[in-house]
Amino acid sequence: MALKRMDNVGIVVDDLRATIDFFRELGLELEGRATIEGEWAGRVTGLGDQRVEIAMMRTPDGHGRLELSHFLPPPAVADHRNAPVNALGYLRVMFAVDDIDETLERLRNRGAQLVSEVVQYKDAYRLCYIRGSEGLLIGLPQELS
């Protein structure tokens, strides 16, 4: 049996509405929202009695998805949003963009902050990291072909 695909990346957030708006501004589409609760959900996560609001965001090409989750009970127990780039564990999500300068301008209006600077790698890419909604670390590469 072979791996079929990567289905989605899950991100736990505090402000679901603002995070949806941020990723919409980046260019993702809201695929749907739901509240997940019940005995089956607690069994799969190991959290027992849980209630979580989720939003599924889809990339324009239809291949990538983010599942944004806001836990009601139980509340979030740890915060990794300010971890440095060399921290262990999941780090960031990266989205290829057409125009890095235009994208940065739009996202700054939603509170995004440049981590350091936009750099150029040879004649191939311009790249930067930003802290987006909820302080999430996001990479933005622009291919220079």
- Please indicate, yes or no, whether residues 71 and 1 belong to a single structural domain of this protein: yes
Domain-terminating residue out of 32, 50, 77: 77
- Please indicate, yes or no, whether residues 58 and 73 belong to a single structural domain of this protein: yes
Lay out the sheet containing 9-12: strands in order across. 9-12, 65-71, 51-58, 29-37
Q: Are 78 and 125 in contact (CB under 8 A)?
A: no
- Please indicate, yes or no, whether residues 37 and 82 belong to a single structural domain of this protein: no
CATH number at 41 reads: 3.10.180.10
- pTM strictly above 0.75: yes
- Please indicate, yes or no, whether residues 58 and 117 belong to a single structural domain of this protein: no
Q: What is the pLDDT of residue 108?
A: 97
The vertex-73 CA angle with 69 and 75, nearest 5°, equals 70
Gap between the Cα atoms of 142 and 120, Å rounded: 9
DSSP string, 7-25: --EEEE-S-HHHHHHHHHH
Q: What is the pLDDT of residues 83-136, one digit of tens each?
A: 887 888 877 899 999 999 999 999 999 999 999 999 999 999 999 999 999 999
Q: What is the pLDDT of residue 83?
A: 82
Our count of domains for the chain comes to 2
- Please indicate, yes or no, whether residues 24 and 42 belong to a single structural domain of this protein: yes
Q: Can you give the residue range of the structural domain that contains 4? A: 1-77
DSSP string, 93-134: EE---S-HHHHHHHHHTTT-EESS--EEETTTEEEEEEE-GG
